[in-house]
């Protein structure tokens, strides 16, 4: 029996509208103009790389937009490496003229997302093949590596801060099984949430506690998945955490006098925190701010900073 492919179940992250232009904007932030050369396919530059920096790094961007899973994206990235490195040999004379004496030690395939072990292993094998060709512009230590925009952390964060870029997060993928298993895996959080919802039902007898429990649990798990995704963008993750701490301090203060109906308080917290995140975390899009806010509100209900003091 063939083992299940773990990459088949991982959604591919969105690539953005013009990935290549964005990547080169990051490189232009990193290098002074005289140290960077760019010759994309639109300039008849389809010769295996889109450009290079004079410190010996060749660059090629690749962002397929139709991959639904990381498996599909991984297979395409590996095939892309084979096609484009073959062009280095095919276009040897033209590349020698373009490189003008620069010898490449590195070749970066810059992609929105990759599966590290598989693509890195493939890159290492492909670099060995390229070295074997003895091309005059390829060094003896030539290496190929996949990279993402987040690898250029300083330039990436600067682009976010000046609104030249948005934070790209994969849409959360929380399974019904994960929601069902939550009570067993986090019993204290699940019990506290249920107690809060039962208290709400006391003021709103028609409220469906089970629907609310499942929704808040799913939102919390989605938020956790998104925060894990933000580990690759540490400044943005810390910005979200800073806003969470500020809002949580205010929640604890408001508990003493927030005499509003429970459902009104929950909805207001969700709306206010989403607005706060979007206003104060550079590059965070509206949909992600709303998802983070819903999930964080669920966590506040589970961990007690959000209490009810309902109007009779």
pLDDT in tens for each of the 312 residues of the chain? 455 665 555 555 545 447 888 888 889 889 998 999 998 777 666 789 999 999 999 999 998 877 778 888 889 999 999 999 999 999 999 999 999 999 999 999 999 888 778 999 999 999 999 999 999 999 999 999 999 888 888 887 777 766 556 777 788 889 999 999 999 999 999 999 998 888 877 777 887 889 999 999 999 999 999 998 887 777 788 889 889 988 988 887 777 665 566 778 888 899 999 999 988 887 788 899 999 999 999 999 898 766 655 444
Question: Which residues, including other chains, have CB under 8 Å from residue 242's CB and lie 6 or more apart?
Answer: none
Instruction: Please check whether residues 99 and 231 belong to one and the same domain.
Output: no
Helix (H, G, I), strand (E, B) or coil at 59: strand
In the chain, the largest separation of any two C-alpha atoms, in whole Å, equals 83
Residue 311 inside a domain? The answer is no
Domain that holds residue 249: 176-303
Q: In this predicted structure, what is the pLDDT of residue 157?
A: 76
**Domain tally, the chain:** 2
Please indicate, yes or no, if residue 218 is contained in any of the structural domains. Answer: yes
pLDDT value at position 83? 95
Q: Tell me the per-residue pLDDT of 91-123, one tens digit each, with 9 for 90 and over.
A: 999 999 999 999 999 999 999 888 778 999 999
Q: Are residues 206 and 152 in the same domain?
A: no
Q: Are residues 135 and 231 in the same domain?
A: no
| Model pLDDT for residues 11-52, shown as the tens digit of each residue | 555 454 478 888 888 898 899 989 999 987 776 667 899 999
Same domain, 265 and 288: yes
State the helix-helix crossing angle for 262-280 and 187-203, rounded to 10 degrees: 120
Same domain, 12 and 124: yes
Same domain, 185 and 270: yes
Answer yes or no: is 166 within a domain: no
Query: Residue 115 belongs to a domain with what CATH number?
Result: 3.40.1350
Look at residues 161, 189, 206 and tell me which one is the last residue of a structural domain. Answer: 161
Total length of the chain: 312
- pLDDT at 170 (0 to 100): 80
Position 65 in a domain: yes
Q: Judge whether 170 lies within some domain.
A: no
Q: Are residues 99 and 140 in the same domain?
A: yes
Pair 104, 191 in one domain: no
Query: Do 12 and 157 belong to one domain?
Result: yes
């Amino acid at each position: 029996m063939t083992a299940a492919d773990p990459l088949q179940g991982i959604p591919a992250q969105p690539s953005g509208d013009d990935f290549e232009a964005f990547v080169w904007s990051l490189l232009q932030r990193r290098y002074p103009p005289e140290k960077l050369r760019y010759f994309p396919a639109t300039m008849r530059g389809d010769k295996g790389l889109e450009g290079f920096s004079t410190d010996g790094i060749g660059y090629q961007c690749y962002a397929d937009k139709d991959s639904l899973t990381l498996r599909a994206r991984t297979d395409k990235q590996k095939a892309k490496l084979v096609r484009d490195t073959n062009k280095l040999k095919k276009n040897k004379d033209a590349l020698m003229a373009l490189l003008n004496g620069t010898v490449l030690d590195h070749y970066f395939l810059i992609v929105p997302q990759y599966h590290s072990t598989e693509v890195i292993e493939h890159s290492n094998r492909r670099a060995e093949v390229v070295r074997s060709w003895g091309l005059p512009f390829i060094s003896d230590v030539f290496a190929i590596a996949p990279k993402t925009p987040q690898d250029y952390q300083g330039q990436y964060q600067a682009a976010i801060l000046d609104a030249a870029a948005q934070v790209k997060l994969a849409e959360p993928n929380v399974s019904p099984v994960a929601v069902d298993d939550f009570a067993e895996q986090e019993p204290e959080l699940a019990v506290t949430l249920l107690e809060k919802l039962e208290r709400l039902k006391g003021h709103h007898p028609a409220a469906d506690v089970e629907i609310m429990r499942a929704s808040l649990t799913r939102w919390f798990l989605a938020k956790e998945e998104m925060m894990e995704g933000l580990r690759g963008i540490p400044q943005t993750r810390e910005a979200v955490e800073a806003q969470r701490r500020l809002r949580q301090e205010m929640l604890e203060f408001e508990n003493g006098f927030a005499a509003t109906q429970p459902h009104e308080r929950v909805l207001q917290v969700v709306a206010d925190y989403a607005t706060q995140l979007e206003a104060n975390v550079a590059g965070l899009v509206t949909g992600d701010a709303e998802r983070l806010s819903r999930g964080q509100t669920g966590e506040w209900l589970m961990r007690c900073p959000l209490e009810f003091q309902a109007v009779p």
